[in-house]
Amino acid sequence: MKSILITGAAGFLGSHLCDRFVKEGYHVIGMDNLITGRMSNIDHLMKRSSFEFHHHDVTKHIHISCDLDYILHFASPASPIDYLKIPIQTLKVGSLGIHNCLGLARVKKARVLIASTSEVYGDPSVHPQPESYWGNVNPVGPRGVYDEAKRFQEAMTMAYHTFHGVETRIVRIFNTYGPRMRLNDGRALPAFIGQALRGEDLTVFGDGSQTRSFCFVGDLVEGVYRLLKSNYTQPVNIGNPSEISISQFAEEIIKLTGTAQKVIYKDLPVDDPKQRRPDISLAKSLLDWSPKVSREEGLKITYEYFKSLSKEELFKKDHMNFDKYNVR
Ligand code: UDP
């Protein structure tokens, strides 16, 4: 039985990856400090003998006693309001956290795949964004803590690959959505659906002309799986190139939910990227991967998930467990 460590296991993407690797017959070790992750995302896995959970902060030394074949580093706050609330932890998980993961990989002779992001391209001046674009990031702006942590993470990963010969893979993840996103993580999709379900107006930031390209989580997981199994060590974009303006996106959510609420406009956050669309030519040729789930289909599945949440969950103000776990 092959073993895999997945950091950020109780988060949105981490939990779906745990599901996939349990299904593939792996021994899965899920690790999370539970600041932004939630046990409810992995409760269903806890009774599986092939799954074990370690409540641990990856910025501290990681001890795993068994052999490891693979490590997926997915621990990090990932929404703009989260990383604005915990900027230092965001920088630490991308720097100290990846250092620990790479050190562990070296000792265990495991292959590591790290979750990077389209944020490495910043507010891009090249559109759509190919992997060869170096980006346009403001290091001292509010998003800098996330963007620069992820850029450092890529650099550290390449250094371990070239200097220590560690087997590494880097996925640059574009906006992804689906069941298990946190309702109040501040991102457009949960924000709009939450507002529709609570009977509030939908808040579009700026004039809503900024664009994003949303990928369903099942497609993302397939892309990550294929990249892990490939022999390619440079970064690969995984995302859905179907691009939409945020105001159009809000209209789609209004139609989907049938809400009588309207769109209201609020100030655009500082350094909010104006456009974003992945160039996925590389993933197509290298991994024979392209997204299969249309936005219409994916949004329906995601809406069903949010509808199934309790009233208490729906009206809860903050879903982050920062104070509870007192992580520094
Ligand atoms: N956004 C919005 N209203 C909200 C939340 C987000 O208009 O209630 C906008 C946000 O300013 C950005 C886009 O939606 O232009 C996508 O934001 P998200 O936080 O989902 O992802 P990111 O900016 O990291 O791509």
Single out the catalytic residue among 70, 146, 160, 303.
146
Task: State the Cα–Cα distance between residues 182 and 186, nearest whole angstrom.
Answer: 8
Q: Has residue 99 been placed in a domain? A: yes
Closest by CA position to 280, among listed 219, 229, 210: 219
Range of the domain at 99: 3-180+214-241+275-293
Angle between the N-to-C axes of helices 295-307 and 246-257, in degrees from 0 to 180, rounded to the nearest 10: 60
pLDDT of residue 319 exceeding 70, the answer is no
In a domain, 313, yes or no: no
Between 321 and 265, the more confident residue is 265
In a domain? residue 280:
yes
Model-level pTM greater than 0.85? yes
CB within 8 A of 132, min separation 6: which ones? Answer: none
Phi, psi (5° rounding) for residue 238? -125, 120
The answer to whether position 50 is within a domain reads yes
pLDDT by residue (tens digit) across 173-184? 999 999 999 998
Q: Counting atoms of ligand 1 from 1, which one is nearest the CA of 119? A: 24
**pLDDT band at 171; cut points 50, 70, 90:** very high
CB 187 within 8 A of CB 129: no
188 Cα to the center of ligand 1, angstroms = 4
146 is known as an active-site residue: yes
Asked whether residue 187 is domain-assigned, the answer is no
Residue 272 CB–ligand 1 contact under 6 Å: yes
Secondary structure (DSSP) of 164-219: H---EEEEEE--EE-TT--TTS--HHHHHHHHHHHT--EEEETTS--EEE-EEHHH
188 close to ligand 1 (CB < 6 Angstrom): yes
Is residue 327 scored above 60 in pLDDT? no
Check which CATH number belongs to the domain holding 13 and give it: 3.40.50.720
- Measured between alpha carbons, how far is 188 from 162 in angstroms, rounded to an integer? 38
Alpha-carbon distances of 148 from 30, 66, 83, rounded to whole Å: 26, 33, 12
Q: Count of domains in the chain?
A: 1
Q: Give domain status of residue 158, yes or no.
A: yes
Please indicate, yes or no, if residue 206 is contained in any of the structural domains.
Answer: no
Closest residue to atom 25 of ligand 1, CA basis: 175
* Ligand 1 atom at shortest distance from the alpha carbon of 81: 19
Please, which pLDDT band fits residue 323 given cuts at 50, 70 and 90? Answer: low
**What is the atom index within ligand 1 of the atom nearest the CA of 118?**
25
Q: Residue 134: which pLDDT band, with cuts at 50, 70 and 90?
A: very high
